[in-house]
Structure 1
């Protein structure tokens, strides 16, 4: 069993060796998972050398490839155990919802499907934090879940030497929310994460953006999981 923070969020949890973050992420897992094509998605959508605020950076899975591509990254996470693994970026320990750095960035990055927070108030606070920190001529990049992900369970995929399996963790009191369990199996061990994820149709996502003063500008991937949003003036 991992070391679980006393401020773990309701409906979230994780198992496995090492530290577990408030939303159930095993730090050890995120030091091992590869970045995949996500750094290229980001780099292709924004100006070279842009200042970038990464919200929920974890152990630097995206941070480090973005630094290598010449971006000036400020990396934010609420987990000190995650931030210990980030190298080369300015780091800030904070929840995303309450973050207020008093500065603006060319790009604000909200990856890891955080926009699907089970609590609508949390989701809206995440998007307001994006709007609060994006420059007038800048953009916000949001990673969304696939449109059929809540129905297409169980499913599995390979990521480096890990097998990631996604299954339903049972019903949630809110009919708009799914309780999801992810299992990360490596050759030397298995970790799990359980979390709450809210379904978001395209229309609902658009309304959530609008409520935070943002508007979708372009879908960046064929599966429509990456979206570039612009601040509404």
Structure 2
């Protein structure tokens, strides 16, 4: 949704005007927003755990699409996989590289078993196939119908004959019965000793008529006990029913073999007016 990436909806749009308009709004995956996203998601491992249960003790090769800072890649590396991470954001890939330099809990050095590619998950050609291709964090919701067709075709071309494509999606049960938008507000403070101390306020807006979700984080940076900077980091996505995605996968020649419910302890999820459900779609050739 690149043309609408910085379109802010709901209360966050009013906050943006208060802070000076467009100059206060930035991509959640840009130079500064990537650090916010990394902070929020690094330890939310529910979908990674669900994917590893599907892998069920296997090892092999992994391609993580929209890999970000490697939230899914690193758990697979810990299980002995060789991996490639692909992402369109150089800022997220920089964080990935920094994580590779960190000391690992298992004491291993992954640098010889993992590489990254700056590229578009909609259309890519890596010249090889993988045992597992993953797409987490509901990232498919950023794509329109034509882009999803291209994504699924690229996945099919990169999947081993016995391989699996694992994709997480979010469903808002009963959203089709709602006529008015609903919004979630959650405050998430970092620790005072964090690398970038800040007060984060999630302003998450869902429009059931347009089937759009505007996820906005008001980041108020703190120094010496005072707010010294305020920005909104935003991402606009579609609300896509899992049934629609299952149908699109089948049309693309990928057989959906299972749909697993993912249980997340991430507290933001419990605060929505409609509690979202997270599913892992498992597909094969």
Matched, 1:180 2:173: no
Change (3 A) 1:9 1:202: closer
1:4 aligns to what? none
Aligned residues: 221
Residues in 1 aligned to 2:88 and 2:131: alpha-carbon distance in whole angstroms: 22
Is 1:136 aligned with 2:164?
Answer: no
For residues 120-199 of structure 1, the aligned pairs below 5 Å read 120-148=145-173, 153-154=183-184, 156=186, 165-168=202-205, 176-183=210-217, 185=219, 188=222, 192-199=232-239
Q: Alpha-carbon deviations, 1:179-202, whole Å to 9, x = none?
A: 513216577476544333223224
Is 1:29 the equivalent of 2:63?
no
Q: Using the alignment, how far apart are the partners of 1:226 and 1:218 within structure 2?
A: 10
Instruction: Provide the residue aligned with 1:3 in structure 2.
Output: none
Q: List alignment gaps of at least 5 residues for structure 2.
A: 9-22, 101-110, 176-180, 192-198, 223-228, 264-276
More helix per residue: 2
Question: Following TM superposition, by how much is the alpha carbon of 1:74 offset from its aligned partner in structure 2, in angstroms?
Answer: 0.5
Say if 1:183 and 1:148 are closer, same or farther in 2 by CA, change over 3 A: farther
Q: CA deviation at 1:45?
A: 1.0
Q: 1:11 aligns with which of 4, 7, 10?
A: 4
Q: Deviations along 1:89-128, whole A, 9 cap, x unmatched?
A: 2111111122111211010001121222352111222222
Is the Cα–Cα contact under 8 Å of residues 19 and 28 in structure 1 kept in the other structure? no
Map of 1:72 onto structure 2: 82
- 31 and 196 in structure 1: CA distance in 2 versus 1, 3 angstrom threshold: closer
TM-score (norm 1): 0.77
- Higher-RCO chain (CA-CA 8 Å, sequence separation at least 6): 2
Which of the pair has more CA radius of gyration?
2
SS of aligned partner of 1:154: strand
Q: State the Cα RMSD in Å.
A: 3.5
Structure 1 residue 51, shift from structure 2 partner: 0.8
Query: CA–CA distance in 2 between the matches of 1:25 and 1:204?
Result: 34
Please give the secondary structure, in 2, of the residue aligned with 1:36.
Answer: coil
Partner of 2:267 in structure 1? none
